[in-house]
Amino acid sequence: MVTAVSDTSKSEQLKGVPFRLSAFASVKLTVLLLVLIATTVLIGAWCPQEAQQGRDKVIETFGSDFGAQLIKYGIADIYHSPFFLGLIGLLTVNMVACSVQRVFPKVRSLAQPMPLLKEDAIAKMTVCSSAQYAAPANLVLQSVQSRLRSHGYVVSSTDNRLAAHWGKCGRLAPTITHIGLLMLLLGVTITSWTGFNGFQAVPLHGVMSFDQSEHSKLWLGQLPQWALRVDATRRENYDNGDAKQWYSTLSVVDSHGKVLKKQEISVNNPLSFQGVDIYQSSWGLGSIAVSFNGKRMELPLRQMGPVIHAAFLPLDHNTIMMFSVHGQDEPVRVFAKIPEWPQPRILTVLAKGQPTVLGSVQVRYDDLIPVTGLQYKCDPGLFITYAAFAFIMLGVILAAVPHRQLWVDVIPLRTGGCRLVIGGVSRKAKSTFEKNLAKLRQMLDREFAPLQEEEASCPMFN
Amino acid sequence: MSDVQLALTNTAGISSVASFWAFAVSNASARFHGKLTKVGLAVLVIGFVALTGSIVMRGFESQRFPLSNLYESLLWFAWAVMGAYLFFSRSYDVKHLGWLASLTAATFFLYGSILPASQHDIKPLVPALVSYWRQIHVPPLIVSYAMFFLGGLAAFVQLWSAARLKSVLLAMAGLLAGMAAVALGTYTETNSFVLQGLFVGGSLLGIGTAWWQLGSFKATAGNKARADMYDEVVYRAIMIGFPLLTIGIITGGLWANAAWGSYWSWDPKESMALVTWLSYAAYIHLRIHHECSAEKLSLVAISGMVLTLLTYLGFNSLGFSGLHSYGRFKESGAFIQASPVVSYQNASDTLLS
């Protein structure tokens, strides 16, 4: 009976759906596409991707020969390959077809009231039970009704029959999830066509514009005319010297230099202005400013470990001067190395702003110039994407709710008692449903003494 | 780590081993079956309570949410496996699953206990992890992994109940190949490609031949009622794990967008989570539309379990890299050499310190 209903509704659902679209509405196709996409993504996770980690990483991981082959055949850029994009396109068509043909019409069918079924229809259900009681039919039905209501069932009934359901919202799960997935595709498409992003390492007091932004080839967006100035930037450490947080104070400036907004950002705390978000993504010491006899020089710093940075200044062919830096507020140690010395020798320690004479030269450590790594992006489809996330989450949560449908027919007997037939459907939690039904029977047996042991007529007792 | 926390963790570990033996012997002994099942359940409850206390204490000691490295995530995973089994034992007669759930918890305790001491120590967080998103994003993922594992274990019992013993053994061999690769990758310096080959090749071969066994040979006997019940347990576990995985992936996207300006960057760990999500989406479609038998669905659930293992532990131990390397605990020389500072590394050690 249940199959007959679903077959009818299936043929009704097919009405009005274009044939070409319905050809794509196959669950087997869905599963095949999911498996192919999963396999492709798995390969993408295994092979470093050029777009994310760079071509060098591919060569470094697999060697020059095999790496070159992976690059040549598009494995190292698999998410932009026609094969992967084709799979996504086909899945989109499949999802639209399934949604139009099967998923969305379910919402309409849910609005219809449950039919009140007769004894023989209920007896065919996989979960059913029957019993005879000495009590009048209406009394037994009322008891069933009140017990079901107390367990949260929505009940509709006539004199001798009853239909009840629980967790109807669970049936909405596929509809809501599919709407969410389609919205996600829309949001991503809008971002791809109008959004942009990029990264710049900006020194203290430096200015960043958006001229070097990255965006898709098919692009309808516009780059901002304003720029960002780094007013201050610093690193906060734990007691052991490890980085705890990085901070940058940024000013949004227009083409006339007017400050439009000012904010301190840190990791997980970005600045947002006119739809563009700027993130603190990395931090480092860029250079050291040192004066020699009053002449200022900026020497680039190189990271030598988790804490130490160093600048190297060749004095002649054999002599190198080195400035070792431990942190922004720490003094700088000055070393020198000549071929005759097995190891560099420390010459002096410089406090900030205090000159020291080394031979004939007066050396002064003026400043450390940090560099802040700023990531930025403009994502006009974000609102739709976030709404899609909400729909998808709601949909998958509802999918865990089991929808239970239950029918009861109470037939009055000539002897004055009645015969109760109760059955139902629960596709997601059949065992629990069976247990609940058995419990209901036990309670009814306690309330109304059963007349005799009912002969097995339901599949449940076969 | 304080002595009290250590004692609580050890209690949980010993309880999981004890409950494994109680459940295992209960399955073998018809005479003491009922009593030993109750003992196994009671010991597991003790372990669960002790582990809850241990995690809470670690949170107090570290003054942060205690889920920031591989060791802590293993504690959460074992806690979720134990809790999920206790949850299912209230609604279903899942005593045949008890020894597998306890064994899984015990294995993860063992795996966690022989990690380097630096993993057990409470350490400050790196800047990227200093965010309220950490406690929103990570727990649903770890609990979803635990639910998928429990679903996979129930799938083994379903196959066994349906008298598909060869398929059980072959699929188990596939899973063990994956686990062996993870263990080798964690504790030895075996080549990454060998490990990846062992994981992917072993699990594909095991599950593939198990699938072929289903199609080629008819089951001779079996306990249909029990097989049906475990089929439902698999489905229920997945239907709890799937929303949690979805929430974990989406909140991860929201966090990434807040931290890095991009909610999806095809990072290997993200990609693996998507692969796992897609595999369970396939399972749900197959199940809802009755496209294949309960036994084949069980093998799909076991495949999902293997992918979950790859996502959760394989990522760190089989040589993947990316933005989610917080769980990585080896001070890998290769990692340092990949950095441009390598030529200055020795200089910094000898010259400047």
Q: How far is B175 from chain A (nearest CA, A)?
A: 18
E-only strand ranges, B33-159? none
Residues 243-262 (B) with a CB less than 8 A from some CB of A: 243, 246-247, 250, 253-255, 257-262
Q: Which residues of A touch B254 (CB under 8 A)?
A: 386, 389
Contact between chains at A270 and B261 (C-beta distance less than 8 A): yes
Q: Which residues of B touch A242 (CB under 8 A)?
A: 124, 126
Which residue on chain B is closest to A385 by alpha carbon?
A: B263
Q: Is the pTM of this model over 0.90?
A: no
Handedness of CA B272, B276, B281, B286 (dihedral sign): positive
For chain B, say whether A46 makes contact (Cβ under 8 Å): yes
For chain A, say whether B286 makes contact (Cβ under 8 Å): yes
Which residue in this structure is represented by tokens 């063990």?
B176
As a whole number of Å, the end-to-end CA separation of chain B is 31
Residue in A337, A377, A428 nearest the CB of B239: A428
Q: Are strands A127-133 and A418-426 parallel, antiparallel or unpaired?
A: antiparallel
Nearest Cα to Cα of residue B312 among B173, B152, B88: B152
Which residue on chain B is closest to A33 by alpha carbon?
A: B282
A103-130 core/surface letters (b: 16 or more CB in 10 A; e: else): bebeeeeeeeebebbebebbbebebbbb
Contact between chains at A382 and B257 (C-beta distance less than 8 A): yes
Contact between chains at B262 and A377 (C-beta distance less than 8 A): yes
Residue A243 pLDDT = 78
For chain A, say whether B130 makes contact (Cβ under 8 Å): yes
Which residue on chain A is closest to B276 by alpha carbon?
A: A38
For chain B, say whether A187 makes contact (Cβ under 8 Å): no
Which residue on chain B is closest to A41 by alpha carbon?
A: B271
Q: Is A279 exposed, middle or buried (0-12, 13-18, 19+ CB in 10 A)?
A: buried
Distance (Å, whole) CA A6 – CA A60:
56
For chain B, say whether A2 makes contact (Cβ under 8 Å): no
Contact between chains at A399 and B253 (C-beta distance less than 8 A): no
Q: Which residues of B touch A266 (CB under 8 A)?
A: 127
For chain A, say whether B196 makes contact (Cβ under 8 Å): yes
Residue B228 pLDDT = 87
Q: Which residues of A touch B249 (CB under 8 A)?
A: none
Residue in A52, A60, A279 nearest the CB of B259: A279
Which residue in this structure is represented by tokens 């209690």?
B11
Residue B152 pLDDT = 96
Residue B321 pLDDT = 61
pLDDT < 50 regions, chain A? 1-14, 456, 460-462
Which residue in this structure is represented by tokens 């997945």?
B238
Q: How many CB pairs under 8 A join A and B?
A: 171
A240-258: pLDDT as tens digits: 777 788 999 999 999 898 9
Q: How far is B351 from chain A (nearest CA, A)?
A: 6
For chain A, say whether B231 makes contact (Cβ under 8 Å): no
Q: How many residues does chain B have?
A: 353
For chain B, say whether A376 makes contact (Cβ under 8 Å): yes
SS3 state of residue A115: coil
For chain A, say whether B191 makes contact (Cβ under 8 Å): no
- Spatial strand order of the sheet with A207-208 comes to A207-208, A227-237, A243-253, A259-266
Contact between chains at A303 and B341 (C-beta distance less than 8 A): yes
pLDDT < 50 regions, chain B? 326-353
SS3 state of residue B271: helix
Helices (H) and strands (E) in chain B, counts: 14, 0
Upper half-sphere CA count for residue B298 (Cβ side, 13 Å): 30
Upper half-sphere CA count for residue B24 (Cβ side, 13 Å): 11
ipTM over 0.90: no
Distance (Å, whole) CA A202 – CA A281:
12
Q: Which residues of B touch A41 (CB under 8 A)?
A: 271, 274-275, 278
Structure-block tokens of residue A56: 């060098």
Residue A349 pLDDT = 92
Q: Which residues of B touch A321 (CB under 8 A)?
A: none
For chain B, say whether A328 makes contact (Cβ under 8 Å): no
Structure-block tokens of residue B76: 């959460």
Which residue in this structure is represented by tokens 């780590």?
B1
B25-58 core/surface letters (b: 16 or more CB in 10 A; e: else): bbeeeeeeeeebbebbbebbeebbebbebbbebb
Residue B216 pLDDT = 66
Residue B131 pLDDT = 80
Residue in B130, B266, B350 nearest the CB of A268: B130
Residue B116 pLDDT = 78
Distance (Å, whole) CA B314 – CA B301:
18
B325-339: pLDDT as tens digits: 544 444 332 222 222
Nearest Cα to Cα of residue A24 among A82, A86, A90: A90
Contact between chains at B260 and A279 (C-beta distance less than 8 A): yes
CB B80 within 8 A of CB B147: yes
Phi-psi domain of A257 (left: phi exceeds 0; alpha: psi -120 through 50; beta: other): left
Amino acid (one-letter) located at A45: A
Contact between chains at B235 and A35 (C-beta distance less than 8 A): no
Residue in A197, A266, A432 nearest the CB of B261: A197
Measure Cα distances from A195 to A93, A198, A381, A389, B266 in Å: 25, 11, 8, 19, 18
Contact between chains at A308 and B196 (C-beta distance less than 8 A): no
Q: Is B166 exposed, middle or buried (0-12, 13-18, 19+ CB in 10 A)?
A: middle
